[in-house]
Amino acid sequence: MKDIAVEPHIAEISMPENLRVGLLVAEQRKRCSKIGCNAEFYGFGFGQSPFHVPPPLQRSLGEHAGKGHYSAAEGIEELREAIAGFNKRHFALDVDPSRIVVGHGTKGLMYTLFSIIGGSVVIPSPAWIGYAPQLTLQGKKYHLFFMKPENNYKIYPPDLDDFLYELPEEQHLLILNNPHNPTGAVYSKDELEGIAEVCRRHDTLVLADEIYALTTYQFENFTSMGMLYPEGTFITNGLSKDRSAGGYRLGSCIMPENCSEKLKDDFTKVAATVYTNISTPTQNAAITAYEPNEEIEDYFKTTREIHQIMGTFVSRAFNAINGIKTTKPEGAFYFLADFNHISEDLKRKGVSTSNDLAKSLISHPHHITTISGDAIMVHQDDFAARIAFVDYNGRAAFEKFKEKPPKTTSEEETFVMENAPRMVAGVDALRMYVEGLKRR
């Protein structure tokens, strides 16, 4: 039998970050085992909530295991009503359930949306790796809009305005990820208003990827783009990050206010054509995750406080290393580490592209996993890496926090040392890596 032919554009699709980190680690383990090295790896690469699924959601999934029938492609009515209530309580968004569709995580919803919405997509860089490969798979055009360090890697409205003027006359969909993966930045209401004004001027649609919204450390500072630009914004959110249930594969998309019935029907038609519906037991269980529930509310509060403590500690420790600058995370569980100040040292050691940076950091004897270069959609001459600060036992840290929440900076530091020793050791490994670069 000849080799099975594969469509040529599949070769163009970049590997998702989890597979990329997994491959990097597997390759390095192989190299290490050849020299008898059994060292542990410092896991700043893979970004997934370290916490347990909230117990009420776990119980609910068991209770609904018997619901084996097909369901509506856009999601069951009771769940969409619960999601509407949740958006009202948390984000002050007044949304009729008919504007809500549920899907296979927000990733699945984005894929369906990209396949329906005409025109091209604008991806601000740095970015989560997820968007571009989906567009390549669909043969859809996208434009990269580079955000600048002096703007804290946020979309700066005058720059966006100039950028949109230069684009071909067609419909555009701007990705607005807030809080942001990989920088941890959170947009203020004023900043979002500036972006909304530009989008309105250009008739540009927005895909507000708000999957990390409830992890915003000062949650009272979070504003949904749906409040400021309701007529042009699709909002995606789901269970993966704030409820640590990525594997449940359940997310929601809120369609723009007053969007046509045809658009909703098109969504249902495509969903029904491709996957019929998402798991009915999961949808039923998810009602519990969206309805008012004190234990889940407390879970949001506790987990976001722990993310803040971990992020503050690790980003400060990185900044204390000569030559490294980081963004300051305000939400989610990432920050961007900028190695450009030591780019000459890196190049002298053979690290000539941003993609090489992650490979060099993981190499023996450093064993530091990160993602860099095209995995965060930056130029190859931009030596930046995404640092995820989730390499610890989330359940144990959660329980320790409930027993005795740290009150002072020094108690917070002790909390990190006791609950995330691998991350603390990873910072030391990075310091040694940088010192090694400076030695000729």
Ligand X SMILES: Cc1ncc(COP(=O)(O)O)c(C=O)c1O
CB of 180 to ligand X, least distance (A): 8
Measured from each CB, the residue nearest to ligand X is 105
What value, to the nearest 5°, has the Cα angle with vertex 428 and ends 427 and 432? Answer: 115
Query: What tokens appear for 170 in the block?
Result: 């067609």
Alpha-carbon span 440 to 436, nearest angstrom = 8
When binding is defined by CB under 6 A, the residue of 45, 246, 311, 373 that contacts ligand X is 246
Name residue 263's amino acid: L
Bridge partners of 261, per DSSP, are none
CB contact at 8 A, 120 and 170 = yes
Q: Which is nearer to ligand X, 60 or 215 (CB)?
A: 215
Q: Which residues between 100 and 119 bind ligand X (CB under 6 A)?
A: 105-107
Number of residues that bind ligand X (CB under 6 A): 13
Binding mask 247-266 for ligand X (x = CB under 6 A): ----x---------------
Helices (H) and strands (E) in the chain, counts: 16, 13
Helix (H, G, I), strand (E, B) or coil at 143: strand
Alpha-carbon span 171 to 121, nearest angstrom = 9
When binding is defined by CB under 6 A, the residue of 183, 223, 240, 315 that contacts ligand X is 240
When binding is defined by CB under 6 A, the residue of 60, 112, 177, 284 that contacts ligand X is 177
CB of 389 to ligand X, least distance (A): 14
Pairing of strands 325-326, 384-388: unpaired
CB of 48 to ligand X, least distance (A): 8
Question: Applying CB under 6 A, does 209 fall inside the site for ligand X?
Answer: yes
CB of 407 to ligand X, least distance (A): 31
Q: Is the bond into 54 cis (omega within 30 degrees of 0)?
A: no
Q: Which residues between 39 and 98 bind ligand X (CB under 6 A)?
A: none
Q: Is the bond into 182 cis (omega within 30 degrees of 0)?
A: yes
- Half-sphere exposure (Cβ direction) of 46: Cα atoms closer than 13 Å: 16
Query: What tokens appear for 415 in the block?
Result: 């909390």
Q: Which is nearer to ligand X, 196 or 207 (CB)?
A: 207
CB of 103 to ligand X, least distance (A): 9
CB of 352 to ligand X, least distance (A): 28
The residues that touch ligand X, with contacts defined as CB under 6 A, are: 105-107, 128, 130, 177, 181, 209, 211, 238, 240, 246, 251
